[in-house]
Amino acid sequence: MSATRQLPPILRLLAPLDGRIVPLEKVPDPVFAQRIVGDGVSIDPTSSTLLAPCGGEVVHAHASGHALTLRADGGVEVMLHIGVDTVQLKGEGFRLKVRAGDRVSAGQALIEFDADAVARRAKSLLTQLLVTDVERIASLTHPSGSVKAGTDLALEVTLREPAAAEAPAAGGSASSDALVVPNPTGLHARPASVLAHAAKRFHSAVQLRRGEASANAKSLVAIMSLNVKQGDKVVVVAEGPDAHEAVEELARLILAGLEEKEAPAPASQPVHPRSEDPRALSGVTASPGLSIGASFQFRRVEVHVAEAGEGAPVERARLAHALERAKAELETLQTRLSAERDANKAAIFGAHRELLDDPELLEIAETALAKGASAGAAWQCSCRDFAGRLSRLNNDVLAGRAVDVKDVGLRVLRILTGAPVEQREFPAGCILLAEDLTPSDTAGLDPARVLGVCTVGGGGTSHVAILCRSLGIPALAAVELKLLAVPDGAPLILDADKGTLLTAPTPAETEAARVRQAGARRRREAELSASRDEARTKDGRRIRVEANIGKAAEAADAARIGAEGVGLCRSEFLFLERETAPSEDEQTAAYAAMAKAFPAASVVVRVLDVGGDKVLPYLAMAQEENPFLGERGIRLLLERPEILRTQLRALLRAAREGGRLKVLFPMVADLDEFRSAKALLLEEARRLGVEPPPVGVMIEVPSAALLGAHLAREADFFSVGTNDLTQYTLAMDRGNPKLAARVDALHPSVLLMIRQAVEGARTHKRPVGVCGGAAGDLQAVPLLVGLDVDELSVSAPAVPAVKAAVRRADHAACRELARRACAAASAAEVRALVAEHEAQSPVAAGGEAA
Ligand code: PEP
Ligand code: MG
């Protein structure tokens, strides 16, 4: 190591402002809080002249005057950033006193600012002092309390030696023979991504040549740009320490077809058996009902980004952060689609992930960043550039891949801008057709305009299905792929109960559907007129029918339609679609509003249940191979007790204001987990000096159902989540379209689980509710009544029909039915038993929404 590289081991940085030291994680901007830009500290300022924390050279002064970077004597870069989102002030209130290239000494004034004006207009005045060369930080300390600018130390950084420059690509060079590309559609995205991925494993520089043209083999973009077709000859050339191994391995992969099957499966492989009628597309009931409407394909829309950024270091960090998040999203998608289930789709998303690491795409973005573009503008520029190049190639398959680039580009832009990219205003009277919808897409649907939803993805118990049911929108999931070819405006009849979408209906079929709708409407009106009365079976057993809600605003609607309380508030909906977690005050207000809608009845709030397919952008979670079997529900909360404690305090405070709130813990697998969570509740209640509310346990993991008697000793009530209980009992993913028809809560094994849980609860006289989708399945109602559950909690629109079903039931007869169902061998047998039972004491099937 040369003497000139020697750097002082400790970098001492003086406070640039008077004020209070604040840890970086408290800064309300993830690029700072998550130390993406650099590591250091923040100051809540009481002075308004920013002083140099050390001597050095100004390497960048932002034109807006709110941020600058110094190279400290010794070479480490230090950034100072006044406030959060202050770039938007476009220089107003800031006066730069130095320029790039100036030498400054410690304590010299760098920026003057109008603290009051900035504080009024910016998100926060917290000012960041950061070492941006994070690889140089060995350790870092900062004081607490208040500091005086130019005098007190704000940060002490123990430095590491700078990393030795990358070893030159010593070794040798190697070149393959001419390799004939066997892939039927050449090196399009998927095989190209396999090649790029494999090439990146080697240290050598690797090129792929076709004739005179040559491309970086580590770049998916570059490989695709070579426009290699089936039968073309390519040569792999490598230079570096492992050149020979690289050439040997990559040549072998190319000749073997880069993991692509003989012929690529057609993109339109149906996931569902086709119906006899070529006009009818089949799917799985996600939300019951019958609709007549016109088709409308769900489309993504352009995102608008700001052109100018806050300077390359910040924007580079923003882009890196967004790319990481996009990769995590894609990985989740890929996991869902992986294995035999839908290997082709999974591979497409694998290629999308590869694009996010692509050196060429990143290089174009980097060039734009260096010129001052914002992260969004830089990324948009590189995606447009590349998609344009692909579209211009004389190759249909690669031109089609431009869509992938746009798709992945949009994913990153959405993360960067937080923009809702989906169109939310749909034509009145439409049936929405989509490849897939996210829970947030669905949550925004207006049932007055959207009469139905059909998706290629999803299943009957997916969260999208749950949302459609709560909105009263008939929906089909796992529909054949040709759904996406239906033109906009085509007349459709969606019979979600029967699992069919009829395209091009005849006038007679439309008329028949209208007659059925009218019948369903009359039945619905009759049910509605009695929906506020309590529900008792014919022989007098009282069954409470409550509502499942996601947000406070839904509570009042639920009360109006006759719900006797809230059996399940999925509180995660308060946490979705936002940049940061809701504060304790915000949550308190939401829970208090729910309780207010039911002054005389209880409201069960399930604490945050995320993990699995529900991810929160601001909750960093490790990648997991099996997220549904990983950190989910209470497991995740016990790992991050601060989130749980905040939520529990909010619930306790709302209860103190007079609400009859109950707390419910999700995904509990055993007594230890329940005890740990309950201990936190009791501790927070003690601290606040309030009585702890009743606390219940979700029965959705088989172990919890089987250990019901133990849990009942310490839990005040049970709530059976049949969606997850079915998924985990049958080991079938509730969101997998291929399994959707078989993930049936009426499977006898699931009924046996419920019976065991009810028996466990009874040993300690605990009430049992059912809040999963089965509670709203009219065929399941007599079985659940027969299994002696006390409450059914369903989506609000289903309350009247479920109450009517309870009234038609006879408890004694239902018990006999449940006994026989538990002895059955399959869900189909159980459904046949229920049909037979209904025929003897007619129960109107359906639950169609008018
Ligand atoms: C369930 O699993 O049945 C349940 C009610 O929880 P969620 O659907 O929110 O996972
Ligand atoms: Mg669940």
CB atoms < 10 A from the CB of 272, how many?
22
Q: Is 470 in the pocket of ligand 1 (CB under 6 A)?
A: no
Beta bridge partners of 312: none
The answer to whether the pTM exceeds 0.75 is no
C-alpha closest to that of 156 among 44, 21, 60, 4: 21
| pLDDT at residue 323, rounded to an integer | 94
C-alpha closest to that of 750 among 692, 830, 665: 830
| pLDDT at residue 438, rounded to an integer | 63
Concatenated DSSP letters of 181-220:
---TT-S-HHHHHHHHHHHTTSSSEEEEEETTEEEETT-H
CB atoms < 10 A from the CB of 685, how many?
19
CA angle 422–425–430, rounded 5-degree value: 105
Distance CA 821, CA 556 (A): 37
Distance CA 734, CA 556 (A): 30
Distance CA 460, CA 466 (A): 8
Q: Is 495 in the pocket of ligand 1 (CB under 6 A)?
A: no
* Four-residue CA torsion sign, 358, 360, 365, 369: positive
The pair of structure tokens assigned to 551 is: 């947000």
User: How much distance in Å is there from the Cα of 105 to the middle of ligand 2?
Assistant: 59
Distance CA 176, CA 473 (A): 59
Distance CA 610, CA 268 (A): 33
User: How much distance in Å is there from the Cα of 473 to the middle of ligand 1?
Assistant: 19
Beta bridge partners of 493: 292, 502
Q: Which atom of ligand 1 is nearest to the CA of 719?
A: 5
Helix pair 312-337, 375-392: axis angle to 10 deg: 60
User: How much distance in Å is there from the Cα of 629 to the middle of ligand 1?
Assistant: 14
Distance CA 663, CA 476 (A): 33
**What are the start-end ranges of the E strands in 685-807?**
695-699, 717-720, 768-770, 791-795
CB atoms < 10 A from the CB of 556, how many?
15
398 CB contacts (<8 Å, ≥6 apart)? 186, 188, 224, 227, 390
Concatenated DSSP letters of 254-267:
HHTTTT--SSPPPT
Q: Is 723 in the pocket of ligand 1 (CB under 6 A)?
A: yes
Nearest protein CA to atom 3 of ligand 1, as residue: 721
836 CB contacts (<8 Å, ≥6 apart)? none
Q: Give, for 819, the enclosing helix (H) or strand (E).
A: helix 811-822
Distance CA 264, CA 248 (A): 25
**What are the start-end ranges of the E strands in 368-524?**
430-434, 450-455, 475-477, 491-495, 500-503
The length of the chain, given as a count of residues: 850
| pLDDT at residue 545, rounded to an integer | 98
Cα separation values, 192 from 320, 668, 691, Å = 23, 44, 62
User: How much distance in Å is there from the Cα of 601 to the middle of ligand 1?
Assistant: 22
DSSP annotation of 233: E
| pLDDT at residue 268, rounded to an integer | 27
For 19-147, where are the alpha helices, taking DSSP H only? 30-33, 115-121
C-alpha closest to that of 673 among 651, 644, 652: 644
Q: Which atom of ligand 1 is nearest to the CA of 461?
A: 8
Q: Is 722 in the pocket of ligand 1 (CB under 6 A)?
A: yes
Decide: 544 and 792 in contact? Cβ < 8 Å.
yes
C-alpha closest to that of 285 among 439, 468, 550, 510: 468
Ligand found nearest the CA of 793: 1
Q: Is 776 in the pocket of ligand 1 (CB under 6 A)?
A: no
Residues that are catalytic: 463, 771
Q: Is 769 in the pocket of ligand 1 (CB under 6 A)?
A: no
Q: Give, for 654, the enclosing helix (H) or strand (E).
A: helix 641-656
Q: Is 724 in the pocket of ligand 1 (CB under 6 A)?
A: yes
Nearest protein CA to atom 4 of ligand 1, as residue: 721
| pLDDT at residue 269, rounded to an integer | 27
How high is the mean pLDDT in each 10-residue block of the chain (850 residues)? 50 95 83 75 94 91 82 86 81 90 94 90 89 80 92 90 50 84 76 83 90 82 79 89 92 85 33 66 89 90 80 92 89 63 57 82 88 92 82 57 71 83 78 78 81 84 70 89 89 94 96 94 92 97 96 90 96 82 95 94 96 76 82 93 96 93 97 97 97 97 97 98 97 81 93 98 98 94 98 94 96 98 96 92 40
Nearest protein CA to atom 9 of ligand 1, as residue: 570
The pair of structure tokens assigned to 648 is: 């529990």
